[in-house]
Chains A and B, each alone.
Chain A
Amino acid sequence: MPTVVSAENLMKKYGDIVAVDGINFSVEQGECFGFLGPNGAGKTTTIKMIQCVSPKTSGKLEVLGMDVDLYPKEIKRNLGVVPQENNLDPDFTVYENLMVYSRYFSIPKNEAKERIEKLLKFMQLEEKRDAIIERLSGGMKRRLILARALLNEPKRLILDEPTVGLDPQARHLIWDRIRSLKKEGVTTILTTHYMEEASQLCDRLVIMDYGKILVEGRPEDLVREQIGTSILETKANPEVLSCLQKMKQEFEIVGDTIHIFTDSPSDLMFNLMGQCRLSQTTVRPATLEDVFLKLTGRALRE
């Protein structure tokens, strides 16, 4: 399968700040590829280099086999982009925003009109076509930005936190649209802070921190490799802690709870219950969020 994006030793510095620190990854055609990471990890910076709006400091970066430094116009023509920050044009209505944007891609006017009708319907914005941007809710703005990103009928979509700040309904609508685009063969690159979003949409993802990629893989594989199938949670107290230590059982302490990663929760539970006096014990399936927190720690960023 042809490669849509390939990065080797990709590096980006802003003055002394190293925002992206020599990362390697590739995105294959038709897949949904995710970037996860705490605030400031370098996700947006990576995305901006891919979409040719921010020049790389060093390393190799090719999009559709073209060098980002040499062919920005050709690359950008073939991408649809939803930026992290809304940048709809407040001087225009919903419809005009799409019309004006279509001109930047040199889409002929009649063609643009047809596409806009389809997109307004696709993103359920038909009733808002003459509304000014200021009057739109956050969810509508996000939907409009996605519609705008689809004007040039791109086969590759770049979505930087597409559902940030949206209610569950709006989020599900956007997920649904991303899935149906994927069915049409659109390659998607996505950043998100919602682990559920990443698990639901991404075929493959990387977790970044401090400009570096920590792990890469399929969401379910990452959970299995890093955690196991399940997590046993139990209340922490000195007695239980020393008991677990005596049993040479590995565990993590999160607040006043003990987390134990396992592939066979019932055996573990049976074993521990016999030896230690556990209280408030539950077993739940491991999730991507557990992987994320295990790898990037629990300390607040920025």
Chain B
Amino acid sequence: MASYLKFPKVSNWAWKVWMRDWKVFMKTYKVNFILPFLEPILYLLALGFGLGGFVGPIDGIPYAVFLAPGLISISIMNSAFFECTYGSYVRMYYQKTFDAIIATPLNLDEVIAGEIFWGATRSLINASFMLIVVIAFGLVSLPMALIIIPFSFIAGLLFSALAMCFTAISPNINALNYPIFLLITPMFLFSGTFFPISALPQPIQYASFATLPLVHVVEISRALTLSRWSGFLPLNLIWIIIVSFLLFVISINLMKRRLIA
């Protein structure tokens, strides 16, 4: 167990890996910048305004306003998680990109760190686009909601590090479906995204707080978009930072076990 907590040797060279992924992203920037606009608009129209017409206000908040930070949080989760599962798996296994990079002065620790930072950057990019959309619909309180932009990077680290752990242990690319169905989908539904967690039975509430990363991200995002503070927010943030850090270290060690025989 202790071997999975060995502290990685990461220097600022990790940014060279980040830069590689950024360059690829920018090669198809038109697609990459238009799609993130599309998804939140569809969700907002269908759920916020469509379904929202049948759902009364939650805690005195119109449903679309309640939903907006949930959608942003889901986008933070999905963009980092997909980037560091399917994206990283393809680069690692099919494209042998990691092999090519570790033949240069960079080490595997830096490659994985760069990938995780890139995953978090995808969260930041997508969350920023969603923010533009919800601002346009007048669903968030400004300027507080802008803090979501830096926050989405921190929250993105949580999901990209988590994803990287699964990438490291997946025997093949199809096996990545398991964490997506067993972890991401339940989180998508039960993290206070579409309805408040308080609607769930108490034991499930506690279990959610303890184990579902998305819960903490939704709590903070909603506080930011509503400009409503609660004493728990520092705890949510600390939870995110500690767990991200642990997963970051574990994922690098798992990757080393997989790739450095």
Contacts and interface: CB of A to CB of B under 8 A. Distances in A.
Interface of A: 14, 51, 53-55, 72-73, 76-77, 79, 81, 83, 85-92, 96, 100-101, 103-106, 152
Contact of A76 (B23, B95, B105): B105
A103 B19 contact: yes
A95 to B, nearest CB: 12
B261 A54 contact: yes
Interface string B169-198: 000000000000000000000000000000
Contacts of B95: 87, 89-91
Given A85-B96, A103-B16, A103-B19, A51 B105 contact: no
Nearest to B103: A81
Interface of B: 16, 19-20, 23-24, 27, 95-97, 99-107, 260-261
Contacts of A54: 260-261
A83 B105 contact: no
Contacts of B106: 104
Given A83-B99, A83-B100, 5 more contacts: A76-B105, A81-B103, A86-B96, A103-B16, A104-B101
Nearest to A73: B105
Nearest to B21: A91
Contacts of A86: 96
29 contacts: A14-B261, A53-B99, A53-B102, A53-B103, A53-B260, A54-B260, A54-B261, A76-B103, A81-B103, A83-B99, A83-B100, A85-B96, A85-B99, A86-B96, A87-B95, A87-B97, A87-B99, A89-B20, A89-B95, A89-B97, A91-B27, A92-B27, A96-B23, A103-B16, A103-B19, A104-B101, A104-B105, A105-B105, A152-B104
Dominant secondary structure at the B interface: helix
A86 B96 CA distance: 8
Nearest to B23: A100
* Residue in A14, A51, A90 with the greatest tally of chain B CB atoms within 10 Å: A90
B105 A92 contact: no
A76 B104 contact: yes
Given A54-B261, A55-B260, A100-B20, A89 B107 contact: no
Given A54-B261, A100-B20, A77 B97 contact: no
B105 A77 contact: yes
A53 B96 CA distance: 14
A162 to B, nearest CB: 14
Contacts of A55: 260
Nearest to B100: A87
A88 B100 contact: yes
* Residue in B16, B19, B23, B103 with the greatest tally of chain A CB atoms within 10 Å: B103
Contacts of B23: 92, 96, 100
Contacts of B16: 103-104
Contacts of B104: 76, 101, 104-105, 152
A252 to B, nearest CB: 38
B28 to A, nearest CB: 10
B143 to A, nearest CB: 37
A72 B107 contact: yes
B91 to A, nearest CB: 8
A50 to B, nearest CB: 11
A73 B107 CA distance: 8
Nearest to A158: B103
A78 to B, nearest CB: 9
B261 A89 contact: no
A116 to B, nearest CB: 15
A85 B24 CA distance: 22
Contacts of B97: 87, 89
B78 to A, nearest CB: 21
Given A89-B95, A89-B97, A51 B24 contact: no
B259 to A, nearest CB: 9
B71 to A, nearest CB: 30
A107 to B, nearest CB: 11
A79 B103 CA distance: 9
A49 to B, nearest CB: 11
Nearest to A80: B103
A51 B260 contact: no
Contacts of A81: 103
B103 A91 contact: no
Contacts of A91: 24, 27, 95
Nearest to A97: B100
